[in-house]
Amino acid sequence: MKKKKGIFSLALTNLLILVGLLLSVNLLSSLIMDGIYLYKQINPPVSQILYPESLPDQEYAQTIFQELRLLTKRYIPYVEWGRLPFSGRTITVDDTGERVQPLLPVNPTKHVHFFGGSTMWGTGVDDKNTIPSLFNQLHPDYRVYNHAQSGFISRQELAGLINQANQSQPMDIVVFYDGCNDPLTLCRADVSINGHREQSKFIAKLERDWETPDALFGSTQTLVQKIIKKGKRPNSQCQDNPAYAEKVAMTLVNNWKLAKQIANFRGAEFLAILQPVASLGKPRIQYITEEFDGSDWATVYPLVLDIKTREQLDWIHDFTEIFNVKDFVYIDSCHVNMIGNQMVAEAIDRILQP
């Protein structure tokens, strides 16, 4: 009997030691991640290469990207995420999680709603040089809204439009600006056709059944995954599966069609724009030293344009060659500077001219 008690006591002691070690490692992992987060908040790093060709004011560009790193995401129903309020020197986010428009007319003659990802949101430029802001400068009497968010795909924008329409928000013009994120996100092997880039994180949070494993391993697992996955992009389904690439293109166009119906139902004109990316067309990008894989764009874009031509969808506008100019506009593979945004804003304005 004493022998059994001794074995049990030894096993229990070893178990408690193991649990203590796991808890200690998990706590240390939490402290490491929190420490990194705190350090980045105090000294926001700029991982972006700031090319002087497209960002000649290097000091101002540094400020923009430092403030960008200080922004924090929050959950917003149906669209999945937005940003917490922020007021900096170059970037302002309001209490709805959207980027602030500098011009706010008292009695607007029209209400214009822009949707898109980070290119429409304005990564790399200040508040007054986003596409919506520059369009607003062409029409100071319009009330312009920038509903774009970094990483958004057309399905999230569709949800965002519904959020506006079902609350009877006034709208006269609706613009969807897509192409960079849909192929990059929906071609990923770890994302479903109606998913988004944070899908795996949402699944992990919602499908967690037990608290003990998370207490013992959660932070350690997260830290290890961040180290392993850093800089790695999930495999693409679109390169070896033409049918899936076609599905991605069809999904993008169908989301645009649904958005058009909603906008028209609310009495608004609708434009869908296939946005430019650095690997398509003939822009001046010889100064960009970062490597980027444009194969998903090269695969999906022609399929989108085939659908546009086949179905005679004249409300879809192809901007893929808009930056075939002498100016240096690209900051990276998708984002452009104020010159590029001005060109896009003016092109949209020309389309809308009666």
Q: How confident is the model at residue 214 (pLDDT cuts 50, 70, 90)?
A: low
CA distance 277 to 293: 11
Please determine, for residue 323, whether its predicted confidence score (pLDDT) is greater than 80. Answer: yes
Structure pTM?
Answer: 0.84
pLDDT of residue 56: 97
CA 235-236-239 angle, to 5 degrees, is 130
Residues in contact with 311: Cβ distance below 8 Å, sequence separation at least 6, in sequence order: none
Distance of CA 111 to the CA centre of its chain: 24
Side chain identity at 344, as an amino acid letter? Answer: V
Whether 311 and 248 have beta carbons less than 8 Å apart is answered as no
Residues in contact with 90: Cβ distance below 8 Å, sequence separation at least 6, in sequence order: 60, 63, 64, 67, 126, 127
CA distance 273 to 115: 10
pLDDT of residue 231: 53
Question: Which residue matches tokens 């006034």?
Answer: 170
Averaged pLDDT for residues 1-30: 68
**β 269-274/173-178 pair status:** parallel
Question: Which residue matches tokens 């009695």?
Answer: 107
Q: How many CB atoms lie within 10 A of CB 84?
A: 11
Find, among 279, 270, 255, the residue nearest to 333 by Cα: 279
Three-class DSSP category at 340: helix
User: Over the stretch 86-122, which tens digit does the pLDDT of each residue have?
Assistant: 999 999 999 999 999 999 999 999 999 999 999 999 9
